[in-house]
Chain A
Amino acid sequence: ETGVTQTPRHLVMGMTNKKSLKCEQHLGHNAMYWYKQSAKKPLELMFVYNFKEQTENNSVPSRFSPECPNSSHLFLHLHTLQPEDSALYLCASSQADGTDTQYFGPGTRLTVL
């Protein structure tokens, strides 16, 4: 595997389900990010992790719970989501948190019924 990978690529879930999105980077980076891309809206940053520590939570509802066990893996745990949470969730990584270029994964397209 190379670059940034995300699984699953597509996910359909009900509002009462609990699911997790996984992101893995194979670039030796130290910072990882979650973004949300809704239809007809710009990408929105959700969370930033730098050396496994969360450095930004962009006022994200608690039904989204991130986890970063190490610099290569990032999870987004989902529970009791709403239909308006349906979107493309993109993971990115960079060498360090700050001025470096972010490289993105292919995204998970989430549909909440």
Chain B
Amino acid sequence: AQKITQTQPGMFVQEKEAVTLDCTYDTSDPSYGLFWYKQPSSGEMIFLIYQGSYDQQNATEGRYSLNFQKARKSANLVISASQLGDSAMYFCAMRDHGSSNTGKLIFGQGTTLQVKP
């Protein structure tokens, strides 16, 4: 069965420093996608970055990069040069691309990040 695990309930980072949020996953499907979303206190889930299982390079989007280690089944999010506005809940999610797929995303428990000034 598919599973996403985020082992860090809460993280602190100093402003302007980099931080890594952990995510491990489990799936038997060779084709899958991994996503990171940010959820501020307002509630909206904001898409940050995507990594496909067959992508050769790690995904990057501005200050966000995804450290994809396929053999370890990990997809950690790295935020560089943290800003106060980065304080939020961060969710890792996975979707397999199997024949029975209906776009269902499986989410982890989330990690609360607090950026200190």
Contacts and interface: CB of A to CB of B under 8 A. Distances in A.
B104 A45 contact: yes
A33 to B, nearest CB: 7
Interface residues of B, number: 25
Interface in B98-114: 101-110
Q: Which of A43, A56, A90 has the most CB of B within 10 A?
A: A43
A97 interface: yes
A109 B43 contact: yes
A42 B45 contact: no
Chain A interface bracket (under 10, 10 to 19, 20 to 34, 35 or more): 20 to 34
A86 interface: no
Contacts of B33: 99
B37 A104 contact: yes
Interface string A79-109: 0000000001010101001111111111101
Contacts of A45: 104-105
Given A99-B97, A106-B43, 19 more contacts: A41-B109, A43-B45, A43-B91, A43-B105, A50-B102, A55-B102, A56-B103, A88-B43, A90-B43, A94-B103, A97-B103, A98-B97, A98-B103, A99-B33, A99-B95, A99-B103, A104-B45, A107-B43, A109-B43
26 contacts: A31-B103, A41-B109, A42-B4, A42-B91, A43-B105, A45-B104, A48-B102, A50-B103, A55-B102, A55-B103, A88-B43, A97-B102, A98-B101, A98-B103, A99-B33, A99-B95, A99-B103, A100-B103, A101-B47, A102-B35, A104-B37, A104-B45, A104-B46, A105-B44, A106-B44, A107-B43
